[in-house]
Amino acid sequence: MNTSDEPSAGYLDGREHVLPVRVYYEDTDFTGVVYHGNYVRYFERGRSDFLRVVGVSHASLLDRSDQAAFTVVRMEIDFRRPARIDDGLTVRSSCNRAKGPRLYFDQKIMRGEELLTQAVVEVACIDMSGRPRKPPAGLMETLRPLFC
């Protein structure tokens, strides 16, 4: 039992980050099926918590003297099966590689062993003016052992 008031950021399973999520009424359309745009939210939570679990929060990137942030530049999503109200899902995220300012993620949303949705996501590290920049050195040393 988690006695902390801190919400769970999931955990690493080998090189893959696992984030449990629940489907709530607000996530669904009038038929009780998850609205397609909400899968993007689940994927965002998965990537953000992946970084948080390995010690890199978005806030810590903004607290640096050489501030950095990430922006999605490409996302390809395959919808295979619908998630429904009250389903317990897992968002599984892996970071495959980096090239210059870009990081490449594979993500999937599972209901038990059933694949519901998968995405290939390309994010770019940017400075506060929105220009591409290489990710901070410490971040790359942290992520490199997790590349699949």
Residues annotated as catalytic are: 29
Query: Strand 102-111 relative to strand 11-13: parallel, antiparallel, unpaired?
Result: unpaired
- Where are the strands (E) in the chain, listed by range? 11-13, 16-22, 69-79, 88-99, 102-111, 114-126
Closest Cα partner for 119 from 84, 85, 72, 71?
A: 72
Torsion angles phi and psi, residue 39, rounded to 5: -65, -35
Three-state SS at 127: coil
Backbone angles phi, psi at 140, to 5 degrees: -65, -40
